[in-house]
Structure 1
Amino acid sequence: MKRTMRPILKNYLTAFAFLAPFLAVYLWFWIYPIIKGFLTSLTTGSLGAPKKFVGLDNYRYMMDDDKFWSSLWNTLYFILISTPSIVLLGLGMALLVNMKLRGTTWLRTAYFMPYMLSVSVIGSIWVFILQSRTGLIAETMNSFGKTMGFSWFGSWGMGWLSILIATLWWTVGFNMILFLAGLQEIPEDLYEAADIDGANRWAQFRFITMPSLKGVTVLIVILQTINSFKLFGQTWLITKGGPGTSTTPLVHYIYQIAFRQWDAGYASAVSFVLFLIIAIISLGQYKLLMSKK
């Protein structure tokens, strides 16, 4: 029995030796910050000042904090409008590129290039384009003797529309690449057999393409949901969270608590709640989408 266990134990030790560097980095940069953040959320005091243990007081205060609920709703609203838009647009672009028509190589490059830019560059580009008086759209309309009779950043609806447009332009190329990889993994034999059986394009898309892209679609939906929960740069650079707080997402609010009000304990409490929400929703999405046949 001992002789049988020695090779198994040796394999486990060898595997652990190879995994140890990754596990050390993972524990230090991922698990430790989560634990540290939770412990900080149980305290009060400014950044850099001595902390005082207050238990769950920060979480109790959060339940009555209108700004927290407003920023959480803003975040959920952005997820509802951005996730379906980016998934559908990414799929449409991937289908177009996968048709292998003339010029699709250039299109694939053009679609993906914005994703290589930083959020600060994206924000600056779209502020330049959408500014009500000196922006690219306004100046173009002025050259034709027209005036732009509204402000992209002056209302709740237009503010979110400008953020959505900037986000779509920035991130949809990455999702297109993921969908394109999934499309290229589908065997051509399936489509040839469907043609022989008389299936039209819509039937092939419904019964071959979409079921084959199920895993990729689940991945994209989960990644997009997580990224939408972390929305910050676009709102900070484009609308400044306004008008008022109508486009202030949760991460934006956490930044204000931590670096404007210098309340590390409450900021950590909101951050930990955000972490739990992301984990629960991502797990629920995975279970729901993977259970559908």
Structure 2
Amino acid sequence: MAAPHRQSRLSNALFAAPYLVVFIALLVVPLIWGIYLSLQKADLFGLYGFTGWTNYARVLNDALFWQSVRNTLLFVVVTVPILVGIGLFLGLALNARTGGAAFMRGVYFSSTVLSVTIVTLIWRFVFIPGDGLLSLAFQAMGWQPIGFLSTEGWSLFSVGVATVWWCIGLPMILILAALQQIPGDLYEAAALDNASRWRTFTRVTLPQIRGTLILVATIQIVMQFQLFGQAQLMTNGGPNGTSRPMVLYIYRAAFENWDVGQGAAASELLFLIILVAAMGQYWVTSRGPRT
């Protein structure tokens, strides 16, 4: 009996091997290499010696780094609830087996397949001063146009609007899939009890899709902490760094200032922030009664 058992374990290991190889090669090795680089004096041409925690001290003492941290945290705190909320609303609205609902799902999901370059180009046409759609609309109503991409307080808002439009498809599809897995018997029982729509939603629908909502929120936290392309292409981090996220700070440190050690140190700090935020969000939202 021992031989078949060992053969079964070997088959399972071989089945999982391709994923493990990719996981180690693309995630574990870069993480370890990044930690190693963060402890070195390094540029794009090579390593010049071990420096210990010097790179981390430089990053933590850099006012621009803390500004990027504040920008990123504000961006995540605002966009993630909006993405989850709109995704839930669209999932509920389009949870119907009709041709119109299927068409609208495709419409809302279509933005997700676009590249960041196309997305930012579209929204630059909306926000750009002078000839942008919003500027023309403001002028038509007799209002003073706002320089959304070049005004402090509005630049990060503009990046957030473009990001929500771009990313809304995935939360919608995940929540919609969860809604379609809810047994119909539960809604029939609620109808027999004369439960209102709101009571059915809060006592039947939400508990049944709780796990999916947690998953969507966790995915969006991880994704939005990695904000980069939209901010770089729409505002270039300006004005005065008010829309510069952490990843753009890392990019400039490593590839514009040629300080790979400092960039690696900042990236490891970003990894820790994402890990703490995602695990904290999961711990908070997963507590509660299970149904």
User: Normalised by the size of structure 2, how large is the TM-score?
Assistant: 0.94
**What is the CA–CA distance in structure 1 between the aligned matches of 2:149 and 2:95, rounded to whole Å?**
37
Equivalent position of 2:18 in the other structure: 21
- Find runs of 4+ consecutive structure 1 residues off by over 6 angstroms: none
**What is the CA–CA distance in structure 1 between the aligned matches of 2:141 and 2:267, rounded to whole Å?**
49
**What is the CA–CA distance in structure 2 between the aligned matches of 1:107 and 1:196, rounded to whole Å?**
32
Determine if the alignment matches structure 1 residue 194 to structure 2 residue 190.
yes
For residues 148-167 of structure 1, the C-alpha deviation after alignment (integer angstroms, 9 at most, x for no partner) is 43211232321122111111
Structure 1 position 102, deviation (Å) = 6.9
Equivalent position of 2:168 in the other structure: 172
Equivalent position of 2:64 in the other structure: 67
Equivalent position of 1:85 in the other structure: 82
Question: Aligned pair in 2 of structure 1 residues 13, 103: CA closer, same or farther (>3 Å)?
Answer: closer
Q: 1:105-144 counterparts in 2 under 5 A?
A: 105-142=102-139, 144=140
For residues 91-128 of structure 1, the C-alpha deviation after alignment (integer angstroms, 9 at most, x for no partner) is 11111111456722221111111111011100011001
For residues 38-76 of structure 1, the C-alpha deviation after alignment (integer angstroms, 9 at most, x for no partner) is 001000132113322101111122221111111111111
Determine if the alignment matches structure 1 residue 204 to structure 2 residue 200.
yes
Equivalent position of 1:46 in the other structure: 43
Structure 1 position 140, deviation (Å) = 4.6
**What is the CA–CA distance in structure 1 between the aligned matches of 2:88 and 2:260, rounded to whole Å?**
41
SS in 2 for 1:156: coil
**What is the CA–CA distance in structure 1 between the aligned matches of 2:35 and 2:141, rounded to whole Å?**
58
When structure 1 is superposed on structure 2, of 189-198 and 18-27 the one drifting more is: 18-27
**What is the CA–CA distance in structure 2 between the aligned matches of 1:68 and 1:135, rounded to whole Å?**
32
**What is the CA–CA distance in structure 2 between the aligned matches of 1:123 and 1:289, rounded to whole Å?**
33
**What is the CA–CA distance in structure 2 between the aligned matches of 1:270 and 1:22, rounded to whole Å?**
28
Q: Which among 52, 55, 58 is matched to residue 55 of structure 1?
A: 52
Structure 1 position 141, deviation (Å) = 4.8
Backbone CA RMSD of aligned residues: 1.7
- Sequence identity (%): 36
Give unpaired runs (5+ residues) of structure 1: none
For residues 131-177 of structure 1, the C-alpha deviation after alignment (integer angstroms, 9 at most, x for no partner) is 110112323555x4745432112323211221111111111122111
Q: Which among 145, 150, 156 is matched to residue 146 of structure 2?
A: 150
Q: 1:179-258 counterparts in 2 under 5 A?
A: 179-258=175-254
Determine if the alignment matches structure 1 residue 287 to structure 2 residue 283.
yes
**What is the CA–CA distance in structure 2 between the aligned matches of 1:184 and 1:277, rounded to whole Å?**
34
**What is the CA–CA distance in structure 1 between the aligned matches of 2:47 and 2:185, rounded to whole Å?**
68
CA contact (8 A) 1:97 1:105 kept: yes
Aligned residue pair count: 289
SS in 2 for 1:45: strand
Question: Aligned pair in 2 of structure 1 residues 8, 117: CA closer, same or farther (>3 Å)?
Answer: same
CA contact (8 A) 1:132 1:148 kept: no
**What is the CA–CA distance in structure 2 between the aligned matches of 1:176 and 1:156, rounded to whole Å?**
31
**What is the CA–CA distance in structure 2 between the aligned matches of 1:20 and 1:66, rounded to whole Å?**
44
Give unpaired runs (5+ residues) of structure 2: none
**What is the CA–CA distance in structure 2 between the aligned matches of 1:210 and 1:126, rounded to whole Å?**
34
CA contact (8 A) 2:135 2:145 kept: no
SS in 2 for 1:103: helix
Q: Which among 156, 161, 171 is matched to residue 157 of structure 2?
A: 161
Q: Which amino acid in 2 is paired with 1:85? A: I
**What is the CA–CA distance in structure 2 between the aligned matches of 1:19 and 1:147, rounded to whole Å?**
61
**What is the CA–CA distance in structure 1 between the aligned matches of 2:225 and 2:253, rounded to whole Å?**
17
Q: Which amino acid in 2 is paired with 1:283? A: M
**What is the CA–CA distance in structure 2 between the aligned matches of 1:102 and 1:47, rounded to whole Å?**
54
User: Normalised by the size of structure 1, how large is the TM-score?
Assistant: 0.93
